[in-house]
C-alpha cells in the first residue's frame, strides 16, 4: 500500500520531537517505512510497548497514529511543565522570603502560611497571605510550637536535704555526701561533716592573712571558692565574710594540735593579692551528734 510523503514526514517529525524533548517519558520510533514494504509504528514507555503492524495499514491509520502520538506528547509536556512550574514556584517563594527579610530588615511574623495539595504532596509558601489556588488547601503554623506538658518531677537534689542534730536542731543544708552548707552571721560556707559531727581541722593546715606587716588587726581567710570553704578547730567554726580583693603583707601559721583562736607565728611577705574575707567564728558546742539528713527545709 502506498504511504503518502506527508504521512511519513509527520511521523518522522513526531518521532524526532519525542526523542529530543521528552526523554525518559515516551519514545516513538519508525522503521522500514517504505512505499512497497511493510513497516511498523512503535510507541513505548518505560514499562509498556505497543506495536502496530503495518503490512496493509492505510495512510489514514498512520495519520491517526501520528495524531494520537502528538496528543500523548502534549500530555507528557504539560506534566513536565507543571512539575517544573511547581519547583520554580517553591524556589521563588523561598528566595523571595529570604530576600524580603534580608533587604527590608522587617521582622517576619511568627505565623507561617503555605498552600498544600494532598494529592500531589506539593506545598509552597504563601507570602501574600491571600487565598490558595484551586486544588490547594491553606496551612499555617508557628515558628515555635506550644509549650508541652510538664515533665515528671525529678529526684530530690542534695540541697533539699536538711541536716539535723540529735535534738532536731538544724545544722545546715546537705550539699553532697559529707559536705554541709553552714551559715554564720549571714555568711555561708561549706564544711566537712560526718554522722558523728563536724570534721575537725588540724591547726597545721590553717593560715590567717593580714594587710599589715606584723599580723596585727583584722584576720582574713581565703574566700576564693564558691561557696566559700570553712573549717572547724577546737570546737569553733570559722567562716569568711564578704569576698574582698586585698593585698596581703603578712600571715599567721600554726603548729599541729594548737587552738587557732590564739595568735600564730607571723611571717612578713611581699604584697600579694588575694580574694579573702574577714574571719567570723562561733562555737559549735550546741550541735550534738549524731547528725541525720531529712527531706525538706
| pLDDT digit string, tens, across residues 194-232 | 999 999 999 999 999 999 999 999 999 999 888 899 999
Alpha-carbon dihedral of residues 114, 117, 122, 126, nearest 10 degrees?
-20
Q: Supply the pLDDT for residue 69.
A: 53
User: Is it the case that residue 184 has pLDDT exceeding 70?
Assistant: yes
Residue found under cell 570553712:
230
Task: Give the whole-angstrom CA distance, residue 108 versus residue 232.
Answer: 61
What integer pLDDT is reported at residue 133 of this predicted model? 87
Q: Which residue carries 506528547 as its cell?
A: 73
Residue 210 per-residue DSSP state: E
**Rounded to 5 degrees, what angle do the CA atoms 166, 159, 227 make?**
105
Position 57 confidence tier, pLDDT thresholds 50, 70, 90: very low
CA distance 283 to 272: 31
For the full predicted model, state whether its pTM sits above 0.75: no
Amino acid at each position: 500500500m502506498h504511504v503518502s510523503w506527508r504521512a511519513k514526514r509527520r511521523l518522522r517529525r513526531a518521532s524526532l520531537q519525542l526523542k529530543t524533548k521528552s526523554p525518559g517519558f515516551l519514545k516513538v520510533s519508525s522503521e522500514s517505512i517504505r512505499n512497497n514494504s511493510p513497516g511498523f509504528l512503535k510507541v513505548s514507555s518505560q514499562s509498556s510497548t505497543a506495536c502496530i503492524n503495518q503490512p496493509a495499514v492505510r495512510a489514514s491509520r498512520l495519520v491517526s497514529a501520528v495524531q494520537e502520538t502528538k496528543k500523548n506528547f502534549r500530555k507528557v509536556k504539560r506534566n513536565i511543565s507543571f512539575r517544573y512550574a511547581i519547583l520554580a514556584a517553591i524556589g521563588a517563594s523561598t528566595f523571595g522570603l529570604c530576600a524580603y527579610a534580608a533587604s527590608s530588615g522587617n521582622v517576619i511574623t511568627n505565623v507561617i502560611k503555605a498552600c498544600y495539595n494532598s494529592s500531589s504532596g506539593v506545598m509552597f509558601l504563601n507570602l501574600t497571605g491571600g487565598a490558595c489556588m484551586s486544588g490547594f488547601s491553606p496551612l499555617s503554623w508557628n515558628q515555635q510550637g506550644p509549650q508541652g506538658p510538664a515533665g515528671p518531677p525529678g529526684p530530690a537534689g542534695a540541697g533539699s536535704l536538711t541536716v539535723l542534730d540529735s535534738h532536731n536542731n538544724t545544722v545546715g543544708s546537705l550539699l553532697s555526701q559529707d559536705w554541709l552548707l553552714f551559715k554564720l552571721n549571714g555568711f555561708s560556707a561549706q564544711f566537712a561533716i560526718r554522722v558523728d559531727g563536724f570534721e575537725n581541722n588540724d591547726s597545721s593546715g590553717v593560715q590567717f592573712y593580714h594587710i599589715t606587716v606584723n599580723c596585727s588587726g583584722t584576720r582574713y581567710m581565703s574566700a576564693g571558692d564558691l561557696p566559700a570553704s570553712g573549717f572547724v578547730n577546737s570546737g569553733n567554726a570559722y567562716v569568711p565574710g564578704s569576698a574582698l580583693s586585698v593585698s596581703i603583707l603578712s600571715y599567721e601559721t600554726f603548729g599541729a594540735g594548737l587552738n587557732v583562736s590564739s595568735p600564730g607565728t607571723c611571717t612578713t611577705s611581699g604584697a600579694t593579692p588575694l580574694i579573702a574575707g574577714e574571719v567570723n567564728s562561733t562555737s559549735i558546742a550546741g550541735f550534738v551528734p549524731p547528725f541525720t539528713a531529712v527531706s525538706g527545709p
